[in-house]
């Protein structure tokens, strides 16, 4: 039986969707391919489960069931081949909150914190807004894919207390190899750097290998890291705000839990714990179908641009449902790119300037949507470019 439902288009303009509501600042008819949530319904089992809870009509305080951590443990073993000690699992509503808490409570003002660039801006903001120094380590862009500059990373580690790692990487979609992880771990141990790894896109790994947590490649990193995980991207439930941190080091874990409690983080919301339990327990087939669907969407986008707009180069990557695209060959600046896509194509993207250094001449496209909508968006992009070229020729 087919589990994935992509035949109907869900109207999201009437439910306070961040992605869809924010796009209205441009126009009512803009289609957003920006914010990283999916325009694909969550699993049927989840919808039915939350529907039953909703019908009770009482939204009281909620606690975690006794099997909560066991279910997470089984999911990680099943899909990543990783055994996770139940004791190491710590609940936090959002990953960005966990990152900020560690920065505030385990580092000092003006400490240096390294992060690869281009980078997901809220993580960099978590550094700067907490009065720490963000040390950007530029990735190498070569032959249409990204690599870590380990000489530069070593220089960054020499002066950093913490390294914020994104795996798979956002925005480039890079899936880091085991060799990459081992090199990072070696440098972290050499310079005593603590690693916070954001693995929220872990399930969207389209390589031939399972996702590898950096904590699994080194005893040092295992005891000097926080691995941040969540079902939110995979099962399209970011609005339920449920994440789980893996903190092996007992001393760090207890101190972190103390700060969580001090800030008032203790109970999940009414729906979130049930959502994790049902998705991590009963939705493997849906997950499998989703990943294949996203894989096909990725191929469709790459093939379309190669044939129809070869100047747009889709970066070679194997992770996430976010496509990172180089538009430098079109000889446009970002303002002209926005005019083309927003005014002429009626499409909103995530713009390269939002991803700091290294984002120049790139934009990020969210392709997690029904294929019929994706195809329509691709056609709109091409039609908008034709109009842009006509305007340019007319002005000559």
258-296: burial string, b at 16+ Cβ within 10 Å, e else: eebeeeebeebbbbbbbbbbbbbeebeebbebbbebbee
Task: Look at residues 257, 276, 245 and name the one whose alpha carbon lies nearest to residue 94.
Answer: 245
**Taking residues 298-302, what's their average pLDDT?**
98
pLDDT at 205: 97
**Taking residues 317-327, what's their average pLDDT?**
98
Residue 395 has pLDDT above 80, yes or no: no
The mean pLDDT of the chain is 96
Is 137 within 8 Å of 153 (Cβ atoms)? yes
pLDDT at 1: 45
Q: How confident is the model at residue 394 (pLDDT cuts 50, 70, 90)?
A: low
The per-residue pLDDT for range 106-133, each reduced to its tens digit, is: 999 999 999 999 999 999 999 999 999 9
Residue 104 has pLDDT above 90, yes or no: yes
**Taking residues 208-225, what's their average pLDDT?**
96
d(CA 20, CA 31): 8
Whole-structure pTM value: 0.96
Residue at token pair 């800030």: 263
**Taking residues 334-360, what's their average pLDDT?**
97
The per-residue pLDDT for range 230-268, each reduced to its tens digit, is: 999 999 999 999 999 999 999 999 999 999 999 999 899
**Taking residues 79-93, what's their average pLDDT?**
97
Residue 396 has pLDDT above 70, yes or no: no
**Taking residues 23-47, what's their average pLDDT?**
95
Enclosing H/E stretch for 76: helix 68-80
Enclosing H/E stretch for 79: helix 68-80
Above pLDDT 70, what percent of the chain?
99
Give helix 178-191 / helix 150-158 axis angle, nearest 10°.
30
d(CA 244, CA 93): 8
Residue 298 has pLDDT above 80, yes or no: yes
The per-residue pLDDT for range 140-164, each reduced to its tens digit, is: 999 999 999 999 999 999 999 999 9
CB atoms within 10 A of CB 106: 17
DSSP letters of 367-379?
--S-HHHHHHHHH
Q: Can you list the domains of the chain with their CATH numbers?
A: 18-44+284-385 (3.90.1150.10), 60-282 (3.40.640.10)
Residue 87 has pLDDT above 70, yes or no: yes
| 191 CB-contact burial (10 Å; exposed 0-12 / middle 13-18 / buried 19+) | middle
Is 103 within 8 Å of 128 (Cβ atoms)? no
Q: How confident is the model at residue 208 (pLDDT cuts 50, 70, 90)?
A: confident
């Amino acid at each position: 039986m087919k589990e994935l439902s992509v035949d109907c288009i869900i109207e999201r303009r009437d439910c306070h969707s961040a992605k869809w509501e924010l796009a209205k600042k441009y126009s009512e008819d803009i289609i957003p391919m920006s914010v990283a949530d999916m325009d694909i319904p969550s699993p049927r089992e989840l919808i039915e489960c939350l529907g039953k809870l909703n019908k009770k009509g009482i939204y009281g305080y909620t606690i975690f069931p006794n099997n909560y951590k066991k279910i997470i443990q089984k999911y990680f073993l099943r899909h990543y081949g990783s055994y996770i000690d139940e004791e190491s699992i710590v609940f936090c509503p959002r990953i960005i909150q966990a990152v900020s808490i560690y920065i505030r409570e385990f580092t000092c003002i003006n400490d240096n914190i390294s992060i690869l660039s281009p980078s997901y801006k809220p993580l960099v903001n978590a550094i700067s807004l907490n009065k720490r120094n963000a040390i950007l380590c530029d990735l190498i862009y070569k032959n249409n894919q990204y690599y870590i500059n380990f000489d530069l990373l070593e220089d960054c580690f020499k002066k950093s207390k913490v390294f914020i790692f994104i795996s798979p990487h956002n925005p480039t979609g890079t899936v880091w190899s085991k060799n990459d992880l081992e090199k990072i771990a070696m440098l972290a141990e050499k310079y005593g750097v603590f690693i916070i790894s954001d693995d929220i896109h872990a399930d969207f790994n389209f390589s031939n290998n399972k996702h590898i947590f950096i904590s699994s490649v080194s005893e040092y990193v295992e005891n000097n890291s926080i691995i941040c995980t969540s079902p939110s991207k995979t099962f399209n439930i970011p609005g339920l705000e449920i994440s789980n941190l893996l903190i092996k080091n007992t001393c760090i874990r207890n101190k972190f839990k103390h700060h969580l409690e001090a800030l008032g983080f203790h109970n999940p919301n009414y729906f979130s714990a049930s959502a994790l339990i049902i998705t991590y327990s009963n939705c493997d087939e849906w997950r499998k179908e989703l990943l294949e669907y996203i894989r096909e969407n990725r191929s469709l986008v790459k093939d379309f641009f190669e044939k129809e707009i070869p100047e747009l180069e889709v970066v070679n990557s194997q992770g996430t449902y976010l496509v990172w695209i180089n538009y430098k060959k079109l000889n446009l600046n970002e303002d002209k790119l926005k005019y083309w896509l927003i005014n002429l194509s009626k499409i909103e993207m995530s713009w390269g300037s939002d991803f700091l250094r290294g984002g120049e001449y790139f934009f990020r496209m969210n392709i997690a949507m029904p294929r019929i909508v994706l195809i329509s968006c691709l056609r709109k992009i091409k039609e908008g470019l034709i109009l842009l070229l006509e305007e340019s020729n007319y002005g000559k």
